A and B are shown apart, each in its own frame.
Chain A
Amino acid sequence: MALSSGTAPNGARGQTVAQRLQKELMDLMTKPTPGITAFPDDENMTIWTATIEGPPDTPYADLTFKLWMKFADTYPYTPPRVLFKTPIYHPNVDFSGRICLDILKDKWSAIYNITSVLLSLQSLLGEPNTSSPLNGQAAELWDKDQEEFKRHVLARHKQPEELDAC
């Protein structure tokens, strides 16, 4: 067997982040959680694309959302930056995809990982926090008129193929 040469060595720190992410990837792939998946964009593994499916029995059921994740060198001691790439109508997500979620900010802990972040986001879809909204209209509608809310969600949503096209 020929020995393949390993990846180019980064800094000591970069190495550990890459190793950690590689391990997480391995876990994601070998023990997949239904409805969520993620994969790195390129070889340096700091930027990932994740896919989550809208939970059933919510306005987001049967919809697929793509997310953009970026891991700093200090991961897992600092949270990853996460954005929705698929346009989404949600009380805690603004129109450019920024997310208001406590565990991605001050409540972050090093025990979280990609799977837990994605699961939290998935549950956020079903249970928005309307008390501190980024999208006030959505928060209002969520509380008042679920039908109207769902219409907004569907109007705003785009299929991944449409996203890729633009």
Chain B
Amino acid sequence: MYHRSRVFASVFPVPSLSHTTPTPIATPDLGYAGPGQSFGSPFVSNASGQHRAVRRNLAWSTATRFLSLPKLPLGDTSLDLQQTPKTAEVEESLRYLLVGEGKGEDGHEESLVDWYTNEAGLHFANFVRPTLEELWDKEMDLRHSWDALQQTQQILHQVQHLYLQPFNDHIIPLLYHDGSSSTIRPNKPEQTQAHSTNWKLRRDIHATFAHCLPPQRFSKALSYVLYDAGCRLFHIYVRHDGVVVSSTSENTVEFRERVMTLLRGLEQVGLGGDNAQKAFAHAMNRLVDSFILSHYLKVDWYSKKSVVPHLRMWIKDGFCPLVELVLGCLKCDPSQVEPTELQQWQDMALGRLGRARVDNLFDFVINWNKSLGAIMDIKEYLRLSGAKQHLTSSFSQQVSRRLLHAGATTTYILNVYIYVIRAFHELEPKGVLLERVARPIRRYLKDREDTARIIILSLLTDLTDNVGDKFAPGSELSYEIASEMQKPIANLSPDQDEELNWNDMNWQPLPTDASPDYKKAKVEDVIWFLLTLWDRENFIDELKNILGNHLLRCQDPEYEKEIRLLELIKIRLGDDKLQACEVMLRDVLDSKRINSSIRASGASQLLPSPQGYPSTPQSSRQSGPGPSTPSIPPPQGPRLNAQILSSFFWPPLREDDFLVPDQIQALQKEYESRFERIKGMRKLRWMNALGDGTITLEFADRTEEFEKLTPWQVSVIYAFQPQPSEEWAGGQGKGKGKQKVSGVTRNVDQLRDMLEMDEQLVYQALAFWVGKSVLRETHPETYEVIEEASSSNKDSDAAAAAQEIAEVQAQAQAGAVKTQADLLQEKKDVYMSFIFGMLTNQGNLPLQRILMMMRMMVQGGFPFGADELKGLLGEMVTAEKVVNMGGNVYGIRKG
């Protein structure tokens, strides 16, 4: 009712509500006729009514004059209440108007209290409001919020005092008095009338105050102030608003006093209440966030502990008291924090902390072990509902963005995967989460071509020797894998079903998010995770290849490391599958013994007893030549050490055929015959492409020694030895350059024919020797020995260039085990007959179908893609066996 009429009145002036200024004393009361003199109405009642109106007018005039507020702009001095003395007349008028007959009749006459309220409103609008508006009308810098609020509070406080003072002094006592004296027994409703009047006035004033301030800006400022207060009280320096606070510690107690004073003041002038509570809630919300980001909750990198207990403690002992304090100051209704609320807040804060940590989980993972603290935080966080989903999705996203792209090397991905395994094992020992987040990584690793090679190479790497350069960034070897290999293997009982072990007192159910068919990996061993990336057989095949290569190049005569690593792998993969690897290792070890016994027999012409020879059942043995090491006596003539390999167990090896130098051939013959004498019926087949050699070259002006050369390099340089037909330099041992000043010249065709060597290899060897400044290219494809090193720069330039080429080529040529392309070439006939058979029986087929069938059907797999297959089909089309029916569909050529 009240408000409605006020709203109405603000548009259409209603006499009873429109505000009147106090009637001036001198104003003649024209509507007033003398007592007893009728002024128009014949009725007594009317006359008495008139009389009352006159009296009321008089009293009104006196009272309003007395109560009117000073019409002075707001200033320090003007606010001192200059009270006109309260005369008896005033007292009388007030009494008359408030409790006497002159009390406003409902709806007709204005009551004095209403008038006073209006008066206060007007005064406020005229004198106070401009000041406040000046303070608030533009967007203010948050930093000035404190001042603004404080100033506002002060002004409003003074104004409120100004308004309430006369009211309390003069009106309230009357109402009170009236309430208590008019009836004998103090009447409750009467008494509360004074209260409610008082309350109403306050409320109106407060409403006026609140309306005058822009609500958004005000709550923003208040929220900022509260947030600022919280940050300062808790010494949080990294803040959401970007305000940098000097880290000088303030006096916390003093500061808290200041905050409380301000808040109490605001509450007193009516600026507390719901809006303030909302602002406070905002502030506390941000305060929690800030606290989580603050230095208090930084990841604990040093003592590697979780900060969650700290967070809980802060919520309980720091945050809640602050909330209670502020709520108390703002006079909110339940100013106590309930225990359930505390729990909720702690969980909420933990959730935020967890999310903040999860956002950086990838960084924590790659810094694993130092980041244990963060992982422990996340572990706490995982107890909350929804946390696991969030973690899985967020981490998967991070992984795919930061790890699984072409720019990351396989070694790096493998290392990260290992960290992931370790970190997630800590996070959730049951491994459900790990399985989930690791799936994309595993899938990606499987697609990488070099994954298996890197894993196995790393497994074969010894940590103990020159760690520095092997694991340098950019190196292919993974230090993490190598170090995992050194760790002791947990005692595993593979056949025991964990779920059925009823004596396990530490048994725990699987997490709720485990899929029904989830089976926990029994071994938590990192190597196990790596080795299970593929089928065991495939992995062992790859292991065989790499181990073979490794053994052929290995320098350690005892093969200690290889033996140890093989044993380690055996424990993990089961020894039944690794027979081939064992045989390979045995081969190289036995070769050494055979070498020495053959040499001994050569020297003493005695047959050594074949004891200690392995009884492996293979019938034929192959061997690679290891050309001489001239430093070992006898110094005359080259020496030959052979590696005897059991062909059945070794992976396919390079079989480039070419002629080795005559002397070597002679040695091979001799070795062969002795070997056959020792080993009975066994045959040796020399694999000239394998092995390495050490030679000494004598030039006109210098002698150089070269080690670790490939056989074809040795053969090529030996071919520059003058032939018997030209000029035989004598049996000084192989590899001697000619002493003539003009070096021997050969061209590529000659070399190829002399050595029956593949042209590719000839070029490669030539490039190598040019790189070593032994040969120079005089004409295209023609090379000459550089007999005198003091030749021009041109040679050294050419040498440098050639060296680069040689290195690149050597990379491509280096493997002792066959490459993909070699394999394809070798098995081409089988593949072609497969395709032919397929097309004959199945009719015309598209390329993709052929590829799929090849992959399924060919024993040993078809490790090639559509491009290679297309090449094969192309060859068959050229050979007129197959026709391309168009659209990649192939069929048999008829007739």
* Chain A residues at the B interface, C-beta cutoff of 8 Å: 1-7, 22-23, 25-26, 28-30, 32, 37-41, 43, 45, 48-51, 66, 160, 164
Contact = CB atoms under 8 A, between A and B. Distances in A.
Contacts of B537: 6
A28 B840 CA distance: 13
29 contacts: A1-B449, A1-B452, A1-B542, A1-B545, A1-B863, A2-B447, A2-B448, A2-B449, A3-B542, A4-B855, A5-B534, A6-B535, A6-B537, A6-B538, A6-B861, A22-B857, A25-B859, A28-B837, A30-B830, A32-B837, A37-B841, A38-B837, A38-B841, A39-B842, A40-B853, A40-B857, A49-B842, A66-B841, A160-B843
Contacts of A30: 830, 833
Interface in B843-872: 843, 852-853, 855-859, 861, 863
Contacts of B856: 7, 43, 45
B96 interface: no
Contacts of A1: 449, 452-453, 542, 545, 820, 863
The 3 closest A-B pairs by CB, nearest first: A3-B538, A39-B841, A49-B841
Contacts of A22: 857, 859
Nearest to A49: B841
A160 B741 CA distance: 75
A37 B840 contact: yes
Given A3-B535, A51-B840, A45 B855 contact: no
A31 B750 CA distance: 39
Contacts of B452: 1-3
Contacts of A39: 837-838, 840-842, 857
A90 B542 CA distance: 53
B84 to A, nearest CB: 102
A40 B857 CA distance: 8
A29 B833 contact: yes
Nearest to B830: A30
Task: Name the prevailing secondary structure of the A interface residues.
Answer: mixed
B541 interface: yes
A49 B857 CA distance: 14
Contacts of A66: 841
A39 B842 CA distance: 7
B837 A3 contact: no
Contacts of A40: 853, 857
B834 interface: yes
Contact of B451 (A2, A26, A41): A2
B446 interface: yes
A64 to B, nearest CB: 9
Contacts of B853: 40, 43
A164 B538 CA distance: 39
Contacts of A7: 856
Contacts of B838: 39
Interface residues of B, number: 34
Contacts of B833: 29-30, 32
Contacts of A160: 843
Given A3-B539, A29-B834, 5 more contacts: A2-B448, A3-B542, A5-B534, A6-B537, A37-B841
Contacts of A32: 833, 837
Contact of A43 (B448, B841, B852): B852
Contacts of B841: 37-39, 48-51, 66
A164 B837 contact: no
B837 to A, nearest CB: 5
A51 B447 CA distance: 38
A113 to B, nearest CB: 15
A5 B538 contact: yes
Nearest to B894: A161
B446 A2 contact: yes
B852 A37 contact: no
B516 to A, nearest CB: 20
B840 A5 contact: no
Contact of B857 (A2, A6, A25, A51): A25
Nearest to A3: B538
A69 B542 CA distance: 36
B369 to A, nearest CB: 30
B859 A3 contact: no
A146 to B, nearest CB: 27
A78 to B, nearest CB: 23
A43 B446 CA distance: 23
Contacts of B447: 2
Contact of B843 (A2, A25, A164): A164
Contacts of A5: 446, 534-535, 538
- Give the interface centre of A4, A7, A32 by most chain B CB atoms within 10 Å: A4
A45 B857 contact: yes
Contacts of B830: 26, 29-30
Nearest to B858: A26
Contacts of B545: 1
- Give the interface centre of B447, B452, B837, B863 by most chain A CB atoms within 10 Å: B837
A74 B621 CA distance: 39
A4 B863 contact: yes
Contacts of A43: 852-853, 856
A66 B892 CA distance: 15
Contacts of A29: 830, 833-834, 837
A4 B448 CA distance: 11
